[in-house]
Structures are given as structure tokens and as C-alpha cells.
């Protein structure tokens, strides 16, 4: 089998990509590669606490492989640190990196360029799938997740902390991609067919943060903070 790691955010897309690759029997998956803001102890993408990713890793039975960043970093610095990590993985016999991307072509090209520089290959098991079908399959397969970050310009504040269940498919506005592929929301998966046991957690406060991207309009995100329960 091909020795691989999965790019792991803790959300639905990476969980479903892992599920599909485990089912295929083509890959020996040896770890969950997670980008972590070392200053805050949180996942870079959506602010989930590192302790919760560690709890996921224990429940899945695969080690978390953190790639730690010292707070906010430039894309140039990010690329350097990622390149170093990928080189390390290759020396350990890794040949493939799995991603949960669905249709962001620019992002896929960026990832494949990074991988090609060190002689690794990318795997994209969800690529070009219909996102309504992807989310429906995620729910029907028995996965359970909660929304931990929402773009307030696209969804109301009440969606922060909402369960990612079948009602979401009914209630999502037509302008919102079902899988949040345009950054409408991010999720945290706490149970499902890849888990030996659920990840126990409780919800904390919600936090609003504003960002001003190059598009020149403010983007406000609401983060639902969650905490791992003591085992």
C-alpha cells in the first residue's frame, strides 16, 4: 500500500476524505498533518483548540502530526515551513498526502506544486463531487459534527455551534455552498465511522472577529469555542 498522511483540519471534508481512503485499501495512512498556531494553541484554519485535534487523533487511532506556526506568518514563511515538513515526511517513507478539497482549483494547484517540489503526490478523493451529495453522504455515513466558525456575511450568528445534520441541507440559503467551499463555515467532527469512540466536548463562548481581505470588504467570522471534556 502507498504510505500517506492526511492534511487534517478536524472538519468534515478531511474526515470524509480519510474515510474514503481507508475504505479503498490503497493507502497506509500513518498520521494527521495539522497546521497549528503555536502561539494560541489552535488550528490555523478555524481556531479549534489543539487539544481537541489530539482527542480526535486518539479516537481515530492515528497520531497527530502538528506543523506549528509562530502566530501569523506570511505565505512565503508558510511555504518554507511546509516544505521543510514535507521533506521530513518523505524521509520517513511517505509518498502521498491526502486532501479534502472539492473544487478550489487554485488551491489544488498550489498544493500539487508544493508536493512536486519534494517529490510527493497528492490524493483528492472528494474532487469535483457535488457538494450537496458530499454533505448528504457525510451525514448518512454516521458522522457527527458541529459548526465552529461561520462567515457572518453568509450565515446568521445563530448557526455558530449548530449541529451539522440533515436539517442543515434544508435550511441553508441557496447562496451558501453545502460544504462551505467558499469559506461560509468550518466544522469540527466528533464522531463517525472512523472513530473508535466519540470526542467529548462542551461549548464555550462565541467570539466575533473581522478580517479585511484584498477584495476590500470586511468579512466577519463568528467562532464557537469548544473545550475538550476531561476523560
Is residue 217 over pLDDT 50? no
The total of other beta-carbon atoms located within 10 Å of residue 198's CB is 12
Task: Report pTM.
Answer: 0.94
Helix (H, G, I), strand (E, B) or coil at 41: coil
CB 94 within 8 A of CB 7: no
Tens digit of pLDDT for each residue in 89-146?
999 999 999 999 999 999 999 999 999 999 999 999 999 999 999 999 999 999 999 9
Domains of the chain: 2-123 (3.40.50.620), 131-228 (no CATH)
Which residues, other chains included, contact 51 with Cβ-Cβ below 8 Å and sequence gap of 6+? 41, 228
Amino acid at each position: 500500500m502507498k504510505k500517506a498522511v492526511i492534511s487534517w483540519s478536524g472538519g468534515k471534508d478531511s474526515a470524509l476524505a480519510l474515510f474514503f481512503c481507508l475504505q479503498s485499501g490503497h493507502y497506509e495512512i500513518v498520521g494527521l498533518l495539522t497546521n497549528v498556531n503555536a502561539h494560541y494553541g489552535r488550528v490555523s484554519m478555524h481556531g479549534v483548540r489543539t487539544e481537541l485535534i489530539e482527542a480526535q487523533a486518539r479516537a481515530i487511532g492515528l497520531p497527530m502530526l502538528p506543523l506549528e506556526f509562530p502566530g501569523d506568518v506570511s505565505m512565503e514563511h508558510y511555504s518554507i515551513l511546509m516544505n521543510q515538513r514535507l521533506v521530513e515526511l518523505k524521509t520517513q517513507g511517505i509518498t502521498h498526502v491526502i486532501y479534502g478539497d472539492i473544487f478550489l482549483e487554485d488551491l489544488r494547484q498550489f498544493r500539487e506544486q508544493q508536493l512536486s517540489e519534494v517529490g510527493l503526490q497528492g490524493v483528492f478523493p472528494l474532487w469535483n463531487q457535488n457538494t450537496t451529495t458530499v454533505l448528504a453522504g457525510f451525514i448518512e455515513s454516521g458522522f457527527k459534527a458541529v459548526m465552529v466558525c461561520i462567515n457572518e456575511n453568509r450565515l446568521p450568528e445563530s448557526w455558530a455551534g449548530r449541529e451539522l445534520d440533515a436539517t442543515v441541507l434544508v435550511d441553508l440559503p441557496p447562496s451558501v455552498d453545502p460544504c462551505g467551499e467558499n469559506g461560509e463555515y468550518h466544522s469540527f467532527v466528533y464522531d463517525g465511522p472512523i472513530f473508535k469512540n466519540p470526542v467529548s466536548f462542551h461549548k464555550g463562548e462565541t467570539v466575533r472577529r473581522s478580517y479585511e481581505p484584498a477584495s476590500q470588504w470586511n468579512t466577519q467570522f463568528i467562532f464557537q469555542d469548544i473545550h475538550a471534556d476531561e476523560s
